[in-house]
Structure formats: C-alpha cells, structure tokens
Structure 1
C-alpha cells in the first residue's frame, strides 16, 4: 500500500482523527482481500482509496462503515472502536454510494426518497413526515446546490459553466416531484450523497466514483463534494465533514481542486494505493503415472 498526502490549508488543532487504522486487514476463503492498512485521516479531510477492480476497495469502505467484519487490526472512527462498536459506527458513518446498497428506486420521486430517509431517521413511533418538513429539507438541498452554482459562476470560463447547473446537474426541482428514472447519473450521485448527508454524519464513504462514465461528470462530482464540504464548514466550523472515496483513477479530483483552489480548503487530501490481491496458484494437472509391465 502506498500513501501520498498533501495539506491544502494550515491544519487546525484537532482533538481526534476522523479515522485511524492500524494493521487493518480482511481475509476470506479466496485469501487476502486487503491487509496491513495503516491510515490516519483528520477531520475535514478527503481520503482516496485508489486501485483496480479486485483490490478490495468496496470491502474496505464497508469495513470502515461498520458494515463488514475484518479479521485483523485496530480501527477507530472518532473515539469509537470499529470492531467493538460497529452499531454506533454505523450511526456516524453514512454511505453515499455503494452499488447494491444505496440503489435508488426508479419509480420513486426525489421527494419520496427524501421522505423515506427522514422517516428512517425519526423515532419508531413517528412513521411519517409532514409536507412542511419535507419542503424544508428540499429547500436546504436546493440552497446548497445553488450555493455550488454561485461558486461555479466565479470560476474561470471553460471549467464549469452555468449551463451545467441549468441542466440540473447541481439542482433538484423545487417540489421534488421528478422521478429517479428521469435523473442523469450525476444527479443520482448527488441525490445519494444528499440522502447520506441528511443525518449530518461526521464521515461519508463513497465507492467507485468511476461508475460515472463521463470524465466531466466525475470532475463535477468531485467539485460538488468539495463545495458541500466547504459549505458545511462555513455554516458550522465545529461540524467538519470527512469524505472517503474509492476509484481507479483520481485524476479528476486534481482538476476539481485546481479549479476550486480559492473556494475550498479541505484539511488535507490523501491518496492510498491498494495493490491487487495475490492470485492463488492454479492447481497442477496430475502427472501421468508409468507402470512397468513384467517382460514375458
């Protein structure tokens, strides 16, 4: 595992890391999935797990989120022990995108998805959400994306344009009545991320940002994550958001960071390269046996 890190802003005094791993590893019937991962991610940072398919990125993210048991090592989210306090960790680490886990219902509207998530966050004895509460949340999401649009408007021409926002890449309609089936892949990405952020978690994990096939969409996705992180810090400097993302190619984050250099200041950005797991040796075919026959 290779790790590179650079600080984009003078690091504030931080009481505890958002994430700390020591000797973190997972083995299965097919051998090691990942192993010997040592990592410190400060609050308000972005960490990128980079590796080809089959390097254990998804399993690593799920283990950090308290949703998959590891076989070795120590890990903490804030002051929570991941292995011993998995349930509490799941309340502190939201999943922004993992295929098969955060999939959206195509026949649901945006509003229905938001209402469903709000109900899940409420006490069990309140299995409903008022229209006013729903409109309030949709309004907050819209204001967040409008703030992102204002940032984009200040960028040099040709990087991210206002027409991107007009095409609703950064916006959700006022009533939330758009069906998921009508959304672009980038809009779905932001909806999943927005749903994950409703509980205001200190840490969000996002798997395989490469599923956004267009390079411009990936750059916009990174820009959206960085802008949202900055807006949350601006609104409450003590409520920093840490984001962990997996991908095969992280080049688009550099483009987003360069474009937003004067607008965003994550605590740090680190990149961790995951090596392919060793492949088991194929079984050797049995050697033919030669039998000596007695001579007559």
Structure 2
C-alpha cells in the first residue's frame, strides 16, 4: 500500500499511574520509522493503555515520548491526526448488523468529511468550482473513495469476493481473522503514519497468528509504523514488555479500557484524554521496559508528523476521532 512514511517512536521513563496504582511505568523505547513494535504482556498488564498513550488517546502521567516530531503529552492532538487504531474494544468496535461494504463506505465518507487537512479541502473545492456541474465533483470524490477502499483492503489482505456474500456479508458472519483484517482496513483508509492494533493474537490459532504477524510486517515494510498488542511478540520486532505486579493486575486493563464509543476519543477511567488528573477505576501496578529484538523493518525519515497543537478546540478533536474510529 502506497502511503505516508511512518513515524519514529521514542520514550523515556514513560508511565501512567491511576488512583489505585501504576498501570505501566519506567518505559524506554527507541523505534525507527517503519518499525513493527510489539507490546507484549499478559491481559491486564496495561497493554491497551500503553497503546492508547502512544497514539495520543490517553494522557500519560510520567516521563515523555516523541512520535515523529510531536511530543507526548504536550501534542496529543497532533499524534491523533497522524495515527489510526484497529481492533480496540470499546473504541473501534464493528457493528455486527452492518455489512462489510457498509462499514467501508461509511469509513470513506467520514474520512472525506473529517480526515483531510483544511488546505486540501479548500483545494478540492477550488478545483471542483472549475468543473462543469456538481456531477464531476461527486464523481471525483467517489473515485477517490473507491481508490482508498481498494488500497486499504489490499494492504489488509481482505478479499471481499472470498466472503460468503461478498461486500454484503454481515460483520456477524465474519470469522475472527476476517474481522481483524476488516478493522485494520478501516484504519488504513485514513492513511495513518502510525497504526495501532490491539489484541492481535487473541483466540487465534498458531497458523492464524503467523498470518497476522506477516500482515502487520508487510504494512510496516510499506513504511507505516505499526504498534501491536500481543501476548507473545514475533522475532525481529521492537519489543515493549509490560510486567504486572500485585493481585489486581488482571483487572486493570478492563477497568482502564474505554467503553463509551460515542465519546469519539479513547478515554480511560484511570486518566481521561487531555485531563490533568486521573479519575477512578484503574486497579493495576506495573512496570514496562523496551528491548530491541532485531532491527526495524524500514528506515524511512519521519517528517510531517503534524504541527504542535496544545490548544486544539473540542470540535476539532471530535472531528479527528470521528474520522479515525468510524462508528466510535
């Protein structure tokens, strides 16, 4: 898939602490653009919270990180605009009643409405004004949406023709691996420079896990940095290991994972996005450390990661998140 270059990810003493203890902490990572980063650990060890923090959707309480040229936690909105999420419970959930085609069309429409920068939107309207009639503008948008959908499906390895009813297949009828591929395709329609994927190996067979890692590695090889949550990292990935401590570790991630999809931005009961102080319900203490188990997939310059944005209006943040999560 041809797309923007990936973003480098670095962090030093990166951590998140809630009222009931530390979710993760002491994190240090250095991943080049186009890397495959695996957040490895057992369920409940703060893996999803770390994924949301690195993609600008959860405010850390300790240390600093840099995603491309944007700093965390100072420039979370800029990181959100250049990153995408897939397969995150409570954030990117698929609607089982909708078909594959409906999900794809909806995501493409949201991307057209909210995803592009203002300059590109003005340019498209200026060009459209010179065309004869509104049909030309509509046709151009439809062609662009189709191109984005086809490119995303190809990169995610999802063949609509192989589904039981093609594009008319309902999400409820998809196999688990097909649902994961669809969620990744929806995120890739926005052409993110950093792709975050949660629960990549949950309830998958060994052969299916191998397929998923081959898919994520191919996306990283194309230049998009990938951050994936897993129970066991593959060889050659930049590994970030979360290690829980205490008897309450298993409940922490469930308490911290966002549950309100209508909020349009991934929040956490431990530390809501862009909030200065944590709220309640996180019950986990833990530490995290990063090790390099092999080099990054590609060394691509990380440029254009977004301009600093310390005071993003609420409506702009809502638009960013709507464009990214689709139905969330």
TM-score normalised to structure 1 length: 0.67
> How has the CA–CA distance of structure 1 residues 63 and 270 changed in structure 2, closer, same or farther, with 3 Å as cutoff?
same
User: CA contact under 8 A between 2:14 and 2:64: conserved in structure 1?
Assistant: yes
Structure 2 segments unaligned to the other structure (5+ residues): 115-120, 126-137, 249-328
2:147 is aligned to 136
2:283 matches 1:272: no
2:232 to 211, 225, 249: 249
Q: d(CA) in 2 for partners of 1:46 and 1:144?
A: 15
How far has the Cα of 1:143 moved from its partner? 4.3
User: CA contact under 8 A between 2:7 and 2:224: conserved in structure 1?
Assistant: no
Deviations 1:65-112 (A, max 9, x none): 111111111111100112111111111121122112111011111121
Q: d(CA) in 1 for partners of 2:244 and 2:84?
A: 26
User: CA contact under 8 A between 1:17 and 1:40: conserved in structure 2?
Assistant: no
Q: d(CA) in 2 for partners of 1:106 and 1:191?
A: 12
Alignment of 1:48-67 (within 5 A): 48-67=38-57
Q: d(CA) in 1 for partners of 2:150 and 2:17?
A: 45
User: CA contact under 8 A between 1:203 and 1:241: conserved in structure 2?
Assistant: yes
User: CA contact under 8 A between 1:49 and 1:274: conserved in structure 2?
Assistant: yes
Q: d(CA) in 1 for partners of 2:52 and 2:245?
A: 18
2:172 is aligned to 181
> How has the CA–CA distance of structure 1 residues 144 and 48 changed in structure 2, closer, same or farther, with 3 Å as cutoff?
closer
Q: d(CA) in 2 for partners of 1:242 and 1:17?
A: 6
User: CA contact under 8 A between 1:212 and 1:218: conserved in structure 2?
Assistant: no
Q: d(CA) in 2 for partners of 1:17 and 1:196?
A: 16
Q: d(CA) in 1 for partners of 2:232 and 2:19?
A: 28
Considering Cα pairs closer than 8 Å and 6+ residues apart, tell me whether 1 or 2 has the greater RCO. Answer: 2
Q: d(CA) in 2 for partners of 1:63 and 1:80?
A: 13
TM-score normalised to structure 2 length: 0.60
1:202 to 186, 190, 193: 193
Q: d(CA) in 2 for partners of 1:16 and 1:176?
A: 30
Q: d(CA) in 1 for partners of 2:242 and 2:231?
A: 10
Q: d(CA) in 1 for partners of 2:184 and 2:190?
A: 11
User: CA contact under 8 A between 1:114 and 1:134: conserved in structure 2?
Assistant: no
Alignment of 1:1-296 (within 5 A): 18-123=8-113, 132-144=143-155, 170-173=158-161, 176-230=167-221, 233=222, 240-250=223-233, 253-254=234-235, 269-279=237-247
The RMSD of aligned alpha carbons is: 2.7
How far has the Cα of 1:119 moved from its partner? 2.0
Partner SS state of residue 113, structure 1: helix
User: CA contact under 8 A between 2:98 and 2:170: conserved in structure 1?
Assistant: yes
Structure 1 segments unaligned to the other structure (5+ residues): 1-14, 149-169, 234-239, 255-267, 281-296
Partner SS state of residue 211, structure 1: coil
> How has the CA–CA distance of structure 1 residues 16 and 96 changed in structure 2, closer, same or farther, with 3 Å as cutoff?
closer
Larger radius of gyration: 1
